[in-house]
Structure 1
Amino acid sequence: MALLAVCGGLLACDNNTPLMDKVVDEDTAAVESMLAQGNDIHARNSYGWTALMHAARQGHAELVKLLLANGAKVDAEDGSGWTPMMRAAMKGHADVVKLLLAEGANVHHADPSGWTALHWAAQRDHEAVVRVLVEAGGDLNAETEDGWTPRMVAQKEGHNELANLISRFMRQQEGQPR
């Protein structure tokens, strides 16, 4: 309860900009208006998040397109080394992951612990996102600092069907039969 009193509510602790608030509210018209008025698309909150990170996390493809069209940095990193694509992948938003990749998002980006968007999609059992990332050249052998590959992460979480799919993708990449 003390945190609520200090910050005036949990969201207030983030120090989101008004533009970010409209993105979180999914108010496309307000976002368009604020961008036209020159609101800083690159501004960051207390955690280093940008408006694009919020839109990607929420899976709001139209806002992602709008922000990218207005110069949002596709591979901006927050304070934890996460990119908008990692946020979208973790939440299972395959359409947004595709949009970000089409705009040049780095499929191989890893946070300081070595986790990639592919690791997060595997951990959360988001098969469609795994497929998109693999098609874009995602590294199925990428290891976290603890030595975990996406397949191992899927297995650890009990996502056996996804782990088997990743194994099939690995064999295909190695030129072995399915």
Structure 2
Amino acid sequence: MTALHQAAAAGDVQQVEDILRQSGCNANQRDLDWSRKTPLHWAAATGHTETVRMLLQHGARPCLRTEHGWTPAHSAAESGRLAVLRLLHSLHAPMDQQDCCGDTPARIAQIYGHHDCARFIKKAEVEGQAFRVMAAQRGISLDDTDEEWAAQGEEHEEEEDEEQEEISKGNNQT
């Protein structure tokens, strides 16, 4: 865990800002020891709204996912961080992305009993989908895809397809 990850998790806005101002600091660095969480995941999960805002102002991408497909919205939903969810939504962060098990942030909020968050996210999903349609019609590009995570998903699908072919070949030989 880097100093930035630790400061974000602790909600130390001043330290986060100091670290981000250093040259070469990457607001989107993934923590390989903690499921590839970014500092934004940590700040969202711990409910530090001002830290979330600071990270976003310095280029943190709210569409980046952990190794299990969680966005910062999933992290905030798990912990019941409604203020963080409101902030993410106000900045057009994706609120309806499915993780590797098919769960959206709204489902995560429901699982953990954060019904106010689940209700909010359900409305945010509809608004976000309408915004994406409008953006597409106007030619506005959105930062709503984690290319690295998507590529990993494609690799896994190819591996599964190869495994299925091997199984089929084996069944046909018997």
Q: Normalization by structure 1: what TM-score?
A: 0.69
Q: Distance in 2 between matches of 1:100 and 1:173?
A: 21
Name the residue aligned to 1:15. Answer: none
**Letter of the 2:51 counterpart:** V
Matched, 1:161 2:113: no
**Letter of the 1:88 counterpart:** A
Paired residue for 1:151, among 78, 83, 106? Answer: 106
3-state SS of 1:68 partner = helix
The answer to whether the Cα contact below 8 Å between 1:101 and 1:136 also exists between their aligned partners in 2 is: no
Q: Which runs of 5+ in 2 are unaligned?
A: 131-174
Paired residue for 1:77, among 10, 21, 30? Answer: 30
Larger helix fraction of residues: 2
Name the residue aligned to 1:101. Answer: 56
Query: Structure 1 residues 146, 95: closer, same or farther in 2, change over 3 A?
Result: same
Matched, 1:63 2:15: yes
3-state SS of 2:70 partner = coil
Q: Which runs of 5+ in 1 are unaligned?
A: 1-48
Counting aligned pairs with the same residue, the percent is 31
Question: Where does structure 1 differ by over 3 angstroms across 4 or more consecutive aligned residues?
Answer: none
Query: Cα distance, 1:111 vs. partner?
Result: 0.7
Matched, 1:125 2:87: no
Query: Cα distance, 1:156 vs. partner?
Result: 0.9
Q: How many pairs are equivalent?
A: 128
Q: Distance in 2 between matches of 1:98 and 1:148?
A: 25
The answer to whether the Cα contact below 8 Å between 1:122 and 1:154 also exists between their aligned partners in 2 is: yes
Q: Distance in 1 between matches of 2:63 and 2:111?
A: 22
**Letter of the 1:66 counterpart:** D
Q: Which has the higher contact order (CA 8 A, sep 6+)?
A: 2
Query: Cα distance, 1:173 vs. partner?
Result: 3.1
Q: Normalization by structure 2: what TM-score?
A: 0.70
List per-residue Cα deviations over 1:66-111 (Å, max 9, x = no partner): 1111132101111121111111111110100100000111110001
The answer to whether the Cα contact below 8 Å between 1:59 and 1:93 also exists between their aligned partners in 2 is: yes
The answer to whether the Cα contact below 8 Å between 2:8 and 2:39 also exists between their aligned partners in 1 is: yes
Matched, 1:171 2:123: no
Q: Distance in 2 between matches of 1:174 and 1:133?
A: 15
RMSD (Å) for aligned C-alpha atoms: 1.4
